[in-house]
A and B are shown apart, each in its own frame.
Chain A
Amino acid sequence: MAAKVGIPRTLFYYVYYPMIETFFKELGVETVTSHKTSRKILDDGVREALADACVPVKVFFGHVQALKGKVDFLFIPRVVCLNGKTIYCPKFLGLPDMIKHSLDGLPEVIDTRIDVRDERFAIWKAFYSIGRRFSNSKTKILVAYLKAKKTLKKYQKLMLEGLTPEEAMLALQHKKQRAPKTGSISLRFAVLGYPYIVHDNYISVNMLDKLKSLGVEVITLEQVPMRWINKAKLKIPKDMFWTFSDRVLKSSYHFFENGGVDGIIHLTAFGCGPDSMVDKYMELKSKEHPQIPFMSITIDEHSGEAGMFTRLEAFVDMVRRKKEAMADA
C-alpha cells in the first residue's frame, strides 16, 4: 500500500501544493489534504494553539488535527528562505517545533529545512532528502523533482493570468472551471494579503466572491508580476525581511504609484506581527496618494459575514461615487 503524506490545506498549500503533489505522486506516494477550513477546523485549532498566536497559525493547528490518524506522515517543512533575500515569518520558521511539542499522537513529521542561503542547489537537496524516505533511486527522485518544478511553473503562470489558486489547481487537472464571474464589472481592486488569508474563503469570510458580486474585479498578489515588485524596490527605506510581507508591501507601492486599480484593500489577520508594520507603511503611503482609496480589514476568529459585507459595500460605494465624480469633472 502506498504511503500517505498529509498536507494541511493552509499556509504553503496555496503557493506550492501542486508542486508537492506532483513530486510525491511520481514517487508513488499518496498525498492527502485536509478539508477546506471550517468552523470545526478553526475551533480545533483555537483549542490547541496558544491564545496569543495569530489566526492563520491557529488554523494550521486545526488542519493538522484533521489529518491526524489518517496519514503516515505529516509534511511540515521548515521553509526559511527560498529566494536568497527574504525569509519567512518567524512563526513559519518555528512551525514544525510548535506542532511537534504541543500536539500528541502525531504521525512522523517531515520537517526538512530549506534555506537556499546555506548552499547551492539547496532546494533540490531538500527534495532529495525528502524523496529518500520513499525511494532508493536518485534518478527517480530527480525526475520527480524536475516534474514538480515544471508543475509549479505552470501553476504560477495560470495564477498570473488571473485564476485563483483553486481554479488553477483544477485547470492543471483539466477539470472544468466554475462559470466565471457574474454581474457587470465596473471596478478593479487590488486585494493584498497573504495567500493563506486571501484565498481561504472561510478565513476571509468569502471576501473575494463578495467583491465580485458587487461588480468588482479583483487582483491578488499572485497576479502581480515579479518585475513590478522588483521595480518598487528602492522606494522603501529598508526591505521587509519576510517574503510575503515584502511582496504585499511592494505590490501596494506599485499600485499606489502606477494606478491601474480603483481601490486597494489590505486583508490582514488579528495577531499578525509583520502586518502591523506592513499596514502602517501602506497607510502612510496611501496618504501620499489620496486618489486611490485604501482600506484595511483585519479578520479574527469571530469575524462575522454581515459586518464585513456592510463595510465592503460602503467602501465599494464610496469608490464608485468617487470614480463617477472624477469622470464627470
Chain B
Amino acid sequence: MAPQKPADVAAKVETTKKEVKPVVDKITVGHVHMSGCTGCLVSLADNYGGLLTILDKYADLVYGLTLADVRHIQKMDVALVEGSVCINDKLSVQEIKETREKAAVVVAVGGCACYGNITRFGRGGQQNQPAHESYLPIGDLIKVDVYIPGCAPTPQQIRNVCVMAYLLLKGTKEQKDLATAYLKPLMMAAQRGTTACFCDLMTEVINQGLCMGCGSCAAACPVRAITHEYGKPQGQRDLCIKCGACYNQCPRSWFSFDVVSSYEAINEAIMAALQ
C-alpha cells in the first residue's frame, strides 16, 4: 500500500465516522511488525474479501505499519505480532514489551514470532545495522497467548484465529465455548516453547511411539525438507528453517476430538461469518 498523506487519512477517518450503522461490538486489533519479512501480513491480506469482512464486521485495525496512521502501540484487544525481536535494537524490545502491556491477547503470527524460524540463522553484518545479530522469538521476552506457526502462516489459519478471537471476546456462551476449544491447542503451543525443528517430530512423535505415517508433516513443510521412507518422515535437517509447521500440522502432536469431529459445522460457521 502506498504511504498515505495525513490529509488522505483524515478524509478516510471522516468517512468512517459517517457510517450509517456503526458496528459497536467490534474488537480492536493491531498488527505489530517485529523482525519478519512481511509475509505474514501478506498472508493476512490474502484473505481478500474475507479480510474486508473481518474489518467491516468484527475488528477495527487500530495499529499497523503503513495500514493505520498511528506511530505508537495502542491499547487493543488482540495484537497480531509478526517477526522475532532483535534484542540489539532497543526500540524493538521496548515495543514488544509495550505490546504485552497494551494488548489483552497476544498472538504470535508466523514461524519467526513463535519460534525464531529463519531469523534464528541471523549472524548480523547487514547494512545499515551490522550489529543487529541476535533475534529471539517473542515468547522469550513476553508471555504469548496464542501461536499461529508456519512460514508463511496460511491466510486460512490467520482467518480462523481472527474469527475465533472475536467469538471468544464478543460471542454468546456457546460461541465462547467453541472458540475456547478451538484456540486451546494453539494456546498450548504457545506454552510449550519457543524452539521448533524437524527434530520435534523425532523427539515428540516418532520416539514417543506415536507416528502412524500419515504424511501431513511432509505436506506442511514449506521448504520440502521432509520425505518419507517406509512410511516414516525423514528430514533433511540442513534444509529445515525451524518454522514449526510440521510438528503442529501432525495429528499426533496434538489432536482434539471435540473440535475436529465437528469439522463440518465449524467450517460452515467460519464461512458463514465471512459472508
A and B: bona fide binding partners: no
